[in-house]
Structure 1
Amino acid sequence: MADKREYRMAELAERAGITVRTLRFYRERGLLSPPRREGRIAWYDDHHLARLRTIAALLERGHTLSGIAELAEALDHGRDVADLLGVAPPTEEEPVRLTPEELAARFEGEVTPENLAAALDLGYLGTDGDEIVHISRRLLDVSSALVREGIPLAEVLSAGARVRKHADALADLFTDLILRHGPEENLHRLRPLARSVVEAELSLALDRRVRERRGKRGEGDGEGDGERA
């Protein structure tokens, strides 16, 4: 087993691409866990480096330091990050508990600070003690399957963000429709019908895209045959 890598403050700051002054500021704001002390020397490790890189990724995505401090506190104390981000807990989706090693194994080489920041943004990930909690087994399984097919996790997460916007719009549409014609209790009872409509329409839309792609390939083949005639 490889020895645990440790860094002095200046080396950690250099590796994270920040100044020592910024590193001290992050410590004062509670964005980093305390370093290991050896006399008057502070030693940092790869967990601190990963946290700094995640902070940088979150800043690039428009998060404020105050918001990042709340996320850091949630990660360090086992609070639900999805709740913190305003993502309601699912009523039908099954959460999945993973160790950091299990998450890394599912997305080999793709669990970067940038991708973790994107997953936090979407509310896909939370923590419970030392475990990571993914909000949905179905989303986790589909995401890892797409990555195994060669699609980068960053693009899978970007697509997930776009799907989220469309899903919210569809949820608003069906909520308004159901409430215009019945009591609020119908929202839960008629939920499977709304989901079936969306699944059927998506299936039909994918069928149309497949036919369109085949048609374009057929036209291309026909043009080539005409030139050779």
Structure 2
Amino acid sequence: MREYRMAELAEAAGLPLRTVRYYRERGLLPPPRRAGRIAWYDEHHLARLRTVTALLERGHTLNGIADLAAALESGRGIHDVLGADAPTEETPVSLSPEEMADYFGAEVTPENLAAALDLGYLATEGDHLVHMSRRLLEVSSTLVRTGVPLSAVLAAGREVRAHADALAALFTDLLRTHAPGADPNALRPLARSVVEAELSLALDHHIAAPEDTPAPGADGARHD
């Protein structure tokens, strides 16, 4: 990995030296490697400077960028989030912070970033973020463009996560109890079909019914 003195780093980033000094004083750059009295910067510092420039162009403030950097640096790495080599059908997406801003605009705040990291939607990998599911990324971005605040999307995601975990436990227990020799992965399309069908039926009711009409079975019983 190439290393730079501060003046070389500023030139590579296309920034005035005084600007890079100011960013370092504001804590926007991680500490350099020191060899005696010489401070050495590397490609990670250059990537950070380019990210700061891109986020400023997208309307973020220096204070906001500093808070975003702090939230990012406190996040868990991708290996911590994934844990063991568990099978998955989801496709992770690597994103730079400025690409994340392209998806969610001004909704990329330190609070929302911290919530997404806490949920496990996002993990860190070097200078990039990794969204754990391309499908969830696209859906979340579409909801935000529709007008739903990202904080509300994340709050809903937390509730969905709890229900999804309960459903996954229900189906895996069903298989382990009644068909212990079956391949657990064969359960995926079956469980998905049941959940999609039930959700479709529930959406039919909620979309068609007046807002103050309770859902079927909302009190624990089905009303025909």
Q: CA, structure 1 residues 181+8, in 2 after alignment: closer, same or farther (shift >3 Å)?
A: closer
Report deviation, 1:195.
Answer: 0.8
Alpha carbons of 1:184 and 1:153: their partners in 2 closer, same or farther (altered >3 Å)? farther
1:112–1:88 Cα change, 3 Å:
farther
Aligned to 2:205: 208
* 2:172 pairs with 1:175: yes
Q: CA deviation at 1:82?
A: 1.7
The reply on whether 1:50 has 2:68 as its aligned counterpart is: yes
TM-score (norm 2): 0.64
Aligned-residue Cα RMSD (Å) equals 3.5
Deviation at 1:185, TM superposition (A): 4.0
What's the CA shift for 1:50?
A: 3.1
Q: How far apart are the structure 2 equivalents of 1:210 and 1:87?
A: 40
Q: Which string of whole-angstrom CA distances, capped at 9 and with x for unpartnered residues, describes residues 185-225 of structure 1?
A: 43211221111100110110011112222796xxxxxxxxx
Q: Unpaired segments of 5 or more residues in structure 2? A: 1-13, 38-51, 53-61, 214-224
Q: Deviations over 1:159-190 (max 9, x none)?
A: 00010000001111111111111125432112
Contact 1:90 / 1:135 at 8 angstroms: preserved in 2?
no
Contact kept in structure 2, 1:80 and 1:127, CA below 8 Å: no
1:133-173 C-alpha deviation (Å, 9 max, x unpaired): 11001000000000010001111011000100000011111
Residue 213 of structure 1 aligns to a residue in which SS?
coil
The 3 A distance-change label for structure 1 pair 48 and 107 is closer
Check 1:7–1:141 CA distance in 2 against 1; reply closer, same or farther (3 A cut): closer
- CA distance 1:150–1:36, change in 2 (3 Å): farther
Q: 1:18-56 CA distances to partner (integer Å, 9 max, x unpaired)? A: xxxxxxxxxxxxxx932699x8xxxxx85644334x38x
Q: Name the amino acid aligned to 2:132.
A: I
* Cα distance change of structure 1 residues 96 and 158 upon mapping to structure 2, 3 Å threshold: same
Query: Which structure 2 residues correspond to residues 120-159 of structure 1 after superposition, within 5 A?
Result: 120-159=117-156
Letter in 1 for 2:156: A
Hey, what does 1:97 align to over in structure 2?
94
- Distance in 2 of aligned mates of 1:88 and 1:161: 23
Q: Tell me the SS of whatever aligns to 1:91.
A: coil
Q: Structure 1, unaligned stretches of length 5 or more?
A: 14-31, 40-44, 56-67, 217-229
Which whole-Å CA distance do the structure 1 matches of 2:193 and 2:200 have between them? Answer: 10
Q: How many angstroms does 1:109 deviate by?
A: 0.7
From 187, 193, 205, the counterpart of 1:196: 193
SS at match of 1:94: coil
Q: Which residue identity is paired with 1:177?
A: L
Counterpart code for 1:117 = A
CA distance in 1, matches of 2:209, 2:85: 38
Question: Which digits, 9 at most, give the CA deviation of each residue in 1:115-143, with x for residues without a partner?
Answer: 11011011111233333211001000000
Is this contact kept in 2: 1:94–1:137, CA < 8 A? yes
CA gap of 1:200–1:49, structure 2 versus 1, over 3 A, is closer
> How much does 1:87 deviate?
9.0
Contact 2:92 2:132 in 1 (8 A): yes
The TM-score normalised by the length of structure 1 is: 0.62
The answer on whether the counterparts of 2:67 and 2:110 sit within 8 Å (CA) in structure 1 is no
